[in-house]
Amino acid sequence: MLSYQHLYHAGNLADVHKHALLAWVLDYMANKDKPFSYLETHAGRGLYRLDSLEARRTGEAAAGILALERSFAPDHPYIRAIDATRAAHGSQCYPGSPLIAAHLLRMNDRITLAELHPQEHAALIQVMRNRARVEKRDGFALMQALCPPEPRRGVLMIDPSYEVKSDYQTLPKFVSTIHRKWNVGVILLWYPILNAAPHQAMVAQLLKDHPDALVLEARFPPIRDGHRMVGTGLLAINAPWGMAEQGTLVTALMGSDARHSG
């Protein structure tokens, strides 16, 4: 049974890096006339309250978006999505990736989301209403069946919690399968950087399979003593032009130690 719940972590430093870059990519795609598809394998609940018991218990947003939001330009697409979320849902609310997409995409762009956890799925349905196709299915199987999507221009976000440790081994094959079926799709894969660095072999395999992939990472101190996460990474295949520079900018705004390659 799945136990990971993103409401304990929403708005933390990893979310700032991932969501700021995702928002930038979606804004880039939406600046061209042609409609596009946004797909997500692990969508979460879409909307988070930063004053919830769960969020206050970890305090991760306080060190993340709440400390950093004024570092971004007010017209950065990430900040625009946060402002729109607060205007629609209240000042303590924070958008997950599906809601960021809903705010930045146009009505003729298509959103398809997978979320397996019954409670998270129910909350996501409420938040997205008729704006997205939302499926309570395994995101890997669903996206493998749906790719290439229609419209063919598009972005796939892969954002597992890595609760299933074999994800590190199986993700390169999944990414290759999607890329073979949908060679024009922008594929974004998030991963945590932990002390023991389990991501390293996975990223090495992905770069071997996709030498042009872009790897954007940011390092930060652990949020509390003994916490294993010391950074965050986003790997992009078919990265839009300018994404490497955006990665450098976002990590600089975070005051982090930026790394990128590709």
Catalytic (active-site) positions: 159
Residues 6+ apart with CB under 8 A from 43: 96, 97, 98, 113, 114, 115, 120, 124, 134, 139, 159
Considering the rule CB under 6 A, would residue 119 count as an interface residue with ligand SAM?
no
Residue 33 beta carbon to ligand SAM: minimum distance, rounded to whole angstroms: 28
Query: Which residue, 63 or 158, is less far from ligand SAM as judged by CB?
Result: 158
Q: How far is the CB of 93 from ligand SAM (least distance, A)?
A: 13
| DSSP 8-state assignment for residue 149 | P
Closest residue to ligand SAM, based on beta-carbon distance: 96
- Residue 43 in the binding site for ligand SAM (CB under 6 A): yes
110 interacts with ligand SAM by CB under 6 A: no
The binding track of 203-242 with respect to ligand SAM, each residue x by CB under 6 A or -, is ----------------------------------------
Asked if 135 touches ligand SAM (CB under 6 A), the answer is no
In angstroms, rounded to a whole number, what is the distance separating the alpha carbons of residues 230 and 13?
10
Comparison of 121 and 179: residue with beta carbon closer to ligand SAM: 121
Q: CA-CA-CA-CA torsion for 121, 127, 132, 135, nearest 10 degrees?
A: 10
Query: Between the CA atoms of 94, 188, 140 and 212, what dihedral angle is there, to the nearest 10 degrees?
Result: -170
By the rule CB under 6 A, 117 interacts with ligand SAM: yes
Interaction of residue 60 with ligand SAM, rule CB under 6 A:
no
Give the whole-angstrom CA distance, residue 67 versus residue 187.
Answer: 29
- Report residue 216 as tokens: 């954007």
> Nearer Cβ to ligand SAM, position 138 or 212?
138
